[in-house]
Amino acid sequence: MTPFVAEMMGTMLLILLGDGVVANVVLKDTKGNNGGWIVITTGWALAVYVGVVVAGPVSGAHLNPAVTIALAVAGQFAWASVVPYIAAQLIGACLGSFLVWLMYYDHFKRTNSPDAVLAVFCTGPAVRNYVSNIASEIIGSFVLLFAVFYFAGAVITTSNTEIGLGSIGAIPVAFTVWAIGLSLGGTTGYAINPARDLGPRIMHAILPIKDKGSSDWPYAWIPVIAPIIGAVIAALVFRILQ
C-alpha cells in the first residue's frame, strides 16, 4: 500500500467499526439495540485500534486531519503531505459510512427516528450551545493529541523524524480514545476528528435513507474546526513544555 491508500483504508475501517457500533446500539431491531454508552465508547476505541494496526506500518496511521495538522505544526510531518493525507481520510470516512449503511440497510428501513439515523453517521450536541460545544471538542481533541505527543516523546524529539499514531502503538491510542469517550464524550459525542464527522455527514445527506431528516449542517462546522484548534493547541503546548 501507498501512504494514501493506507490512510484511506485505515480510516474506512475506523468508521465502519465506529459508526457500526452506533448503528448496532441505536437502530431498531438490531442484536445490540439499547446497548448503551459503554458499548459505543468501547466499540469506537477498538475501531481506532483496528485502523491503527492496518495503516500504521505504511502511513503512520493518522486517520484524523487534526492529528495530521498537529504533527505538521510540531514539525514532525511534512506540510506537503497534509492535503493528500486529509483527502485520503475523508474518502475513507465516506467509504466506511457507506458500508455501515449497506450492513444495516434493513434496520435503517425499520428505524423511524431521524435523530437515531443521524447519530449513526455523525455527532451532535446533547445541549445545543455552540460556545460550550466548541469548548468540548477543543478540550477532547487537546487531550487526544497531548497524550499522543507524550506517548511519542522519545520519537518526536529526534531530529527529522516523522511520527504518527502507528509509531506509538495501537493500544495506547485506543485506550486514550476510550477514556475521552467515557469521560468527555457526553456533551457532543466526541468527534475529535473532522473526517470522522464530515465524511459520514456527507453520506447521510446523499444516501437514500427513509425518514432520515436533516443532516444538521448548521452544526457541522464545529466538529471540523474545533478538533483542529484543540490539536494545534496541544502541539504548541507540548513544544513549549519541552
Question: What is the C-alpha to C-alpha distance for residues 213 and 218, in angstroms, rounded to an integer?
Answer: 14
C-alpha cell at 77: 510531518
**What pLDDT shows up at residue 163?**
61
Question: 138, 230 in Cβ contact below 8 A?
Answer: yes
∠ at Cα 10 (5, 12), nearest 5°?
Answer: 95
Which distant-in-sequence residues (6+ apart) come within 8 Å of 101 by Cβ? 108, 203, 207, 209
Question: What is the C-alpha to C-alpha distance for residues 121 and 43, in angstroms, rounded to an integer?
Answer: 15
Q: What is the pLDDT along the chain (242 residues), one digit of tens a residue?
A: 899 999 999 999 999 999 999 999 999 999 999 999 999 999 999 999 999 999 999 999 999 999 999 999 988 899 999 999 999 999 999 999 999 999 999 999 999 999 999 999 999 999 999 999 999 999 999 999 999 988 876 454 544 455 667 656 789 999 999 999 999 999 999 999 999 999 999 999 999 998 899 999 999 999 999 999 999 999 999 989 88
**What pLDDT shows up at residue 239?**
87
Which distant-in-sequence residues (6+ apart) come within 8 Å of 99 by Cβ? 12, 16
**What pLDDT shows up at residue 80?**
96
C-alpha cell at 225: 474546526
3-state SS, one letter per residue, for the chain = CCHHHHHHHHHHHHHHHHHHHHHHHHCCCCCCCCCCHHHHHHHHHHHHHHHHHHHHHHHCCCCCHHHHHHHHHCCCCCHHHHHHHHHHHHHHHHHHHHHHHHHCHHHHHHCCCHHHHHHHHCCCCCCCCHHHHHHHHHHHHHHHHHHHHHHCHHHHCCCCCCCCHHHHCHHHHHHHHHHHHHHHCCCCCCCCCHHHHHHHHHHHHHCCCCCCCCCCHHHHCHHHHHHHHHHHHHHHHHHHHC
**What pLDDT shows up at residue 159?**
42
For the chain, the domains span: 3-241
Look at the block and give the residue holding cell 445490540: 32
**What does pTM read for this prediction?**
0.94
Q: Is 3-241 CATH 3.90.320.10?
A: no
∠ at Cα 85 (96, 238), nearest 5°?
Answer: 110
**What pLDDT shows up at residue 158?**
46
